[in-house]
Amino acid sequence: MVTGGQIDRSIGRTLGDLLATRPGITGSSFAPGAASRPVIRGLDNYRVRIQENGIGSHDVSEIGEDHAVPIDPLSTQKIEVIRGPATLRYGSQAIGGVVSAENNRIPTAIPLRGFAGEVKGALSSVDKGIEGAVLLDAGKDNFAVHADAFGRSASDYRIPSYPYLFPGDEAPVVGNRQPNSAMRADGQSLGGSYFFQGGYAGVSISRYASFYRVPGLEASETNTRIDLEQLRVQSKGEFRPQSGAIETIRYWAGATDYKHDELANENGFDGVQQTYTNKELEGRVETQFTPFDLRWATCRPRSARRLDTSG
């Protein structure tokens, strides 16, 4: 579990960088500060599910290491890493684990005194980086709303020595900064919830955009960069019926429209070389039953077996 305070104190700009110091977890770090997907006990890609508020990230980061995860720590209030049998709750595919990012984009409670706000900001000297975020929550009677906006940018980061181990015969000239490592990202969200006796239901809409460059010898020569944008609509709710058998019914639903362009200078053409799009729907309903006492139960095992062999 990574709390909000730990996220604020961390210098990680991606989920992979943020969790890289946790036991058994590392990041792909293909494009530092931009594209770094969590790797849990050596398992990654399709074997590790990444989700936000119970719904998958719905990107294409599991297809290529240079593809970013459209979830930013600036808008995240808690991150939980789920391993073991508990991952079956989210499907049989996430055998490596689940990285669950949570925020208040769909309010689950009315803020104390009716209003709450948070402002974040940071600077970094190694890459002339700057980042900031504003998160606002308000509520009254049966309604609560949330709004947030964030942004970050960084130039090529400084390096202590020549970055390429095997540059080839025509080694490129490199100064004191890693070529083709700049990035920028921003996002906005608006959501609200209605509270009623025994539960709530809410919906949110959010946007994430990122433009980042991919470092490396070949990628720097072709000026490779990725322009990404995702629009996301999500809903979740909870109902606690006055029933002796059922304690809670919860639901999650989401729809996303994702696109990114891969740009490079190849064969004399500097522009879009490839485009990925992903439109995805997801929904899940959970029913939690009231615990009951089985100490009265008895078990009388019976078995039968007949084993034959010949020859």
Half-sphere exposure of 17 (CA within 13 A, CB side): 20
The rounded percent of the chain whose pLDDT value lies above 90 is 57
Highest mean pLDDT of the ranges 28-42, 51-65, 82-96: 51-65
What pLDDT sits at residue 8?
85
Q: Determine the average pLDDT of the residues in 12-34.
A: 85
- 246 falls in which pLDDT band (50, 70, 90)? confident
Contact between residue 78 and residue 52 where contact means Cβ atoms under 8 Å apart: no
Separation between Cα atoms, residue 255 and residue 283, nearest integer Å: 9
Residue whose pair of structure tokens reads 């029933």 in the numeric block? 243
Strand 115-124 with 55-56, pairing = unpaired
Structure tokens at 149: 């906006």
Q: CA-CA distance, 64 to 280, in Å (whole number)?
A: 18
Average confidence score pLDDT of the chain: 89
In this prediction, residue 84 carries a pLDDT of 86
Distance of CA 199 to the CA centre of its chain: 26
pLDDT value at residue 28: 84
Q: 117-129: per-residue pLDDT in tens? A: 999 999 999 999 9
Q: Tens of pLDDT along 264-298?
A: 999 889 999 999 999 999 999 998 888 876 566 55
Per residue in 141-170, pLDDT (tens digit) is 999 999 999 999 999 999 998 888 877 777
Between 13 and 231, the more confident residue is 231
